[in-house]
């Protein structure tokens, strides 16, 4: 997966303490700032952490055009 680094994601998690429904979108914004998009691995992990289904998280992400769920092709 291009651009996704597990350690960078873990550092983000540590910086916010815990991800809950209340701060999910703010955290997703930080993820996108770090990676340029929101990786699938992050959505899966956040679904498990928050109890929000992956489908709901993807639905929310795709309803805002500022969020990207795929890395942009380079070259």
Three-state SS letters, the chain: CCCCCHHHHHHHHHHHCCCCHHHHHHHHHHHHHHHCCCCHHHHHHHHHHHCCCHHHHHHHHHHCCCCCCCCCCCC
Q: How far apart are CA 43 and CA 52, in angstroms?
A: 10
* Count of structural domains within the chain: 1
pTM value? 0.84
Tell whether 71 is covered by a domain.
no
On the question of pLDDT at 71 being above 90, the answer is no
Q: What is the pLDDT of residue 1?
A: 43
Tell whether 25 is covered by a domain.
yes
Domain extent, residue 26, equals 6-63
- CA distances 26 to 2, 40, 71, 75, Å, are 23, 17, 19, 30
Tell whether 10 is covered by a domain.
yes
Which has more confidence, 1 or 27? 27
């Amino acid at each position: 997966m291009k651009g996704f680094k597990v350690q960078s994601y873990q550092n983000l998690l540590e910086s916010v303490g815990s991800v809950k429904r209340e701060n999910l979108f703010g955290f997703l914004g930080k993820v996108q700032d770090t990676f340029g998009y929101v990786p699938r691995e992050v959505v899966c992990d956040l679904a498990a952490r928050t109890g929000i289904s992956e489908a709901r998280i993807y639905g929310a992400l795709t309803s805002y055009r500022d969020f990207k769920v795929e890395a942009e092709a380079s070259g």
